[in-house]
Amino acid sequence: MFFFGVVIPWCSPVSVRALFCVAPFTPDLELSQVNGTLFPRQSSSTTTMISTLRALARHISKATTQFESKPDTGFIGKGMTRQLNKTWNYIGKGVFGTLGIVLVFPIVCLLSTILCLAVAATAFIWMPAVTLLLQVGMGVFWDLDSPVAERNKYLVVLEALLWDIGVCGLLQPVAAVFVSCVICPLLSLFVTTVGALRFVCRLAWDAVVFHLVIKKRGRIPASDSVIVKRIEGPGLNNNYYYQIRPEQALAAFEAKLELDELAAFQHQMELKIMLPQKDYSQFVAACFGPFSATLARVGAYKSLEREGHDLMTSLQEKLERRRRDLHTGLATGLRSKLKLNTIDLKIAIQQGALMLERFYPSHVLWRLVISEQEFWDGKALQMNDWPGLAALLYADIFSLDFLTPLDESDTSFRLEASPQVDLTRYSELVRGAGGLDLLGPVYAPRANIQVHSPFLDVSAFNPRYRPIQNNKNRDTGTGQSTIQTTLIGGGIGGTVGRGTRWWPSVRPWKRPEHPYSAEKLVIPLPIPHPAQIALTIYNRDTDNPIPVDSETCRHVLRGLEEGGDEGTGVARYRGGAGDGGSADTISSSSSSQRSMGEPWADWTTGAAGGRPKKSSTAVRVDLASPEDITLDSDSTRVVFSAYGTTV
């Protein structure tokens, strides 16, 4: 009734108002976001018959003037086209257009008004039938008023009868019973039978192949072939080790001891060989150095140098020959795979310590240039810590992983010595080992432990920062926390469907969805005044700090902190001035900002604009950033760089 009785007869372009009013009218109103009043919406401006005639006359005049103002550069010329232009504008548009508007428009307006009023008056007669047909159509064809946007909207009655009742209600239970009672048992029996037959055939095949082929002719393959494929073992992965006996470890340890003795002997012999040349050089430097004489490599010195070089070459050749004999010949990758179990490792370390205690002092230590204390300090060991030195030597011979004993879960393969090598003497050492518990625990397995330095995000020092969650949108720059909540249909809703933009226009009787935004301001933590922060930063970065304890500095800081109580405090917007007098630049900037029409300028400075200004020397400034403040150490001035103002 409202649409046919009010909107069309009184507010539409074919209404009575459009027929009798002189000027265009705007029937729709909207709420002002500035002062909260209602004002006409310009988009709903509706023309009347008289305003249409005026617009037609202006259009004809403008078209004629535009034709006359153009130069005569056409194909025919204005002498002939002028008459055609006047005929089209004055007769075609003017006469027939005016007759069409005057004769047709009133009839259309009157007929539409009469018909709409008649429809509105008889709404109680036809509305029930239309409503009934609409409900039947929505149930049978298309559910226009569906409460859930994701639900099917086409042929909902047939869907309920055929799918919900027929298929899901009748056929599905019957099919479920048939599948569970007939098909599933048959499939289970079939799968069980096939699995049992496959298991029996596999066992029979493995037994036949093992006893007829593998047991008699099988070997460990060196590579993959068509018949066999290697899956585990040496050379395939790194999760395996070679287990050796303590006798083998002691043999390599004794070779290492002799290598150390050879190194000490080589260093000692080299010093002895070079001693005559050194003494000769010192003698010449002491006797003839004051006369600026230098040693010439000729004569006796050249013979001495040649003899020393021959001795050094002979020594290195003999020592290198012996080192090659003592070399174990183990590659680096193989040495890292050699290990012992816990008992054998303790035996090897204990017997190695005994060998060191008997061998090192009389064969190695006395040949070294450094003292015995310096030797132990260089190894990072205590004095006479022979087990620790034995562990270090084992790590040099094999690897550091050698000191980690084998575990029961490790995959290991025994590495036997060559039959030509006699290890009887080392076997006697192993059998004579005792007191293994005195060594204490052995090395534990190494782990890749990474320790990162402590880290704290810079935003943690911001008192206005809040962690972002899924249901909140925060503005960390302004310090405001805004919780966005959408109310849909009277309740709290989440995700809106795809058709939220055009669906309300199809269903105008539905309640519109208005997003509700609740703003929650964050209470800032009690922090020092920005002037104090700026002063602290300045004193930290400069070589000439400002004395904070001085009377002048305290006076300035106190004035900045307490200025808000007297009306001369900090303005909370850029360029805002207080009640007191201020510089012309601040006043001009404040007035220019208010003239720009920003919404905060009216209500923020409106109260202060009507009061008379008091004469004062204080200035209201914005101290939102510590970098805006600069203190001059030579005078009692505070310069605000953002405004160029001096206090």
pLDDT of residue 519: 54
Taking the C-alpha atoms of residue 283 and residue 291, their distance in angstroms, rounded to an integer, is 14
SS3 53: helix
Surface-to-core class of residue 455, CB atoms within 10 Å of its CB (0-12 exposed, 13-18 middle, 19+ buried): exposed
Q: Is the torsion defined by CA of 367, 373, 377, 380 positive or negative?
A: positive
Three-state SS for 330-359 is CCHHHHCCEECCHHHHHHHHHHHHHHHHHH
Contact in structure between 478 and 508 (CB atoms under 8 Å): no
Nearest CA to 461 out of 533, 548, 558, 557 is that of: 533
Taking the C-alpha atoms of residue 350 and residue 389, their distance in angstroms, rounded to an integer, is 11
Taking the C-alpha atoms of residue 339 and residue 243, their distance in angstroms, rounded to an integer, is 5
Q: What is the block-wise mean pLDDT of the chain (647 residues), using blocks of 10 residues?
A: 86 89 88 83 88 92 89 79 88 90 92 92 90 87 80 85 91 94 96 96 93 82 79 69 88 90 90 87 85 80 86 90 84 84 88 89 87 89 89 88 84 80 81 65 57 72 60 41 40 43 53 60 65 87 86 86 53 41 40 39 38 42 47 49 43
How far are the Cα atoms of 11, 221, 516 from residue 107, in angstroms, in the given order?
17, 107, 48
pLDDT of residue 197: 97
Rounded to 10 deg, the angle between the 584-595 and 599-609 helix axes is: 130
pLDDT of residue 490: 41
SS3 548: coil
**Residues 6 or more apart from 56 whose CB is under 8 A from it?**
93, 94, 97, 98, 101
> How many beta carbons lie within 10 A of that of residue 108, not counting itself?
13
- Domain boundaries, given as residue ranges, for the chain: 2-71+80-121, 241-439, 463-521, 530-646
> How many beta carbons lie within 10 A of that of residue 346, not counting itself?
23
pLDDT of residue 401: 84
Diameter over CA atoms, the chain: 143
pLDDT of residue 566: 46
> How many beta carbons lie within 10 A of that of residue 578, not counting itself?
23
Taking the C-alpha atoms of residue 280 and residue 609, their distance in angstroms, rounded to an integer, is 104
pLDDT of residue 180: 95
Contact in structure between 55 and 47 (CB atoms under 8 Å): yes
**Residues 6 or more apart from 604 whose CB is under 8 A from it?**
573, 576
pLDDT of residue 70: 86
DSSP states along 272-313: HHHHHHHHHHHHHHHHHGGGT----SSTHHHHHHHHHHHHHH
SS3 144: coil
Taking the C-alpha atoms of residue 444 and residue 39, their distance in angstroms, rounded to an integer, is 85
Amino acid in position 596: M
